[in-house]
């Protein structure tokens, strides 16, 4: 039976960043041993509350020790440029929910590149506060993984926005969820319009 690692991550966790990078770098070797890896977004704040755990910085002895440990870990994992942002820790619900959507909607490579972009934005200067929608959107745009400009260039002014190509290669835009009859017509598909019946007709 194939072996598998499920890794649960939150971008506000420095050690999640280390684990993500470490597993990515070793995935090919793991595959030779028939071990696959999958990453899952979680909300660390909820885990801490639910488990009764306390974040390291909230326990004085852990906080002091953590400075030594994080320095050693940065060197070991090859990420010496990491620093804690001044706004640490953030409420990570926005980026973590986004990662759930990206995982469900896009290819694995896109999902993993988005993870890396979020981790880097949170932990490498200049830091971006990913709990703020404007900063979050700026980080996403910078990845060039997701483009709002593409649909703007098509003339989009709302959603749903459809860009449809027919069998000849001709393309046209369609807007709204009530335009599918136009789409079917454009594509030359068989379809039946909504029919108005005479007053005495039985339903």
Mean pLDDT, the chain, whole residue set: 87
Quick check: 20 and 119 in contact, CB under 8 A?
yes
Q: Same domain for 172 and 133? A: no
- Return d(Cα 119, Cα 10) in angstroms, integer: 9
Q: What average pLDDT does the segment 70-82 reach?
A: 92
pLDDT of res. 123: 96
- pLDDT over 90 for what percent of the chain? 46
| Domain range for 91 | 3-146
In the predicted structure, residue 149 carries a pLDDT above the cut 60:
no
Q: What is the pLDDT of residues 107-128, one digit of tens each?
A: 999 999 999 999 999 999 999 9
Answer yes or no: do 108 and 156 share one domain.
no
Place of tokens 């966790």: 13
User: Could you give the dihedral angle defined by the CA atoms of residues 102, 106, 111 and 114, in that order, rounded to the nearest 10 degrees?
Assistant: -70
Distances (CA, A) of 143 to 11, 114, 153: 16, 7, 18
pTM comes to 0.72
* CATH assignment at residue 17: 3.40.30.10
pLDDT given for residue 107 in this prediction = 92
Write the pLDDT tens digit of every residue in 16-56. Answer: 999 999 999 999 989 998 899 999 999 988 888 888 888 77
pLDDT at 203: 60
What span, in angstroms and rounded, lies between the C-alpha atoms of 8 and 41?
Answer: 6
| 157 and 74 within one domain | no
Buried-exposed string 10-24: b where 16+ CB fall within 10 A, e elsewhere: bbbbbebbbbbbebe
Answer whether residue 201 is part of any domain.
no
Helices (H), 10-132: 14-32, 44-51, 60-76, 93-105, 108-123
**174 in the same domain as 106:** no
Q: How confident is the model at residue 9 (pLDDT cuts 50, 70, 90)?
A: very high
- Asked whether residue 134 falls in the same domain as residue 160, the answer is no
Q: Kindly tell me if the per-residue pLDDT of 164 is higher than 60.
A: yes
pLDDT at 162 over 80: no
The structure tokens 């050693």 sit at 72
What pLDDT score does 175 carry?
A: 81
Length of the chain: 203
% the chain with pLDDT above 70: 94
Residues 142 and 173 in one domain: no
Do 72 and 125 lie in one domain? The reply is: yes
């Amino acid at each position: 039976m194939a072996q598998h690692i499920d890794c649960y991550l939150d971008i506000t966790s420095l050690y999640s960043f280390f684990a993500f990078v470490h597993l990515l770098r070793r995935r090919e070797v793991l595959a030779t041993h028939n071990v696959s890896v999958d990453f899952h977004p979680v909300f660390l704040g909820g885990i801490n509350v639910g488990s009764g755990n306390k974040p390291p910085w909230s326990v004085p002895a852990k906080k002091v020790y953590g400075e030594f440990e994080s320095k050693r870990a940065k060197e070991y994992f090859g990420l010496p440029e990491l620093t804690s942002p001044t706004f640490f820790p953030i409420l990570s619900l926005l980026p973590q929910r986004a990662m759930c959507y990206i995982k469900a909607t896009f290819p694995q490579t896109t999902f993993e590149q988005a993870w890396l972009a979020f981790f880097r934005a949170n932990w490498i200067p200049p830091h971006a506060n990913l709990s703020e929608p404007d900063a979050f959107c700026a980080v996403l745009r910078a990845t060039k993984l997701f483009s709002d400009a593409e649909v703007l260039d098509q003339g989009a002014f709302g959603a749903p926005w459809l860009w449809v190509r027919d069998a000849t290669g001709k393309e046209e835009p369609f807007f709204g969820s009530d335009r599918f009859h136009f789409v079917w017509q454009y594509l030359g598909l068989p379809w039946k319009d909504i029919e108005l019946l005479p007053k005495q007709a039985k339903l």
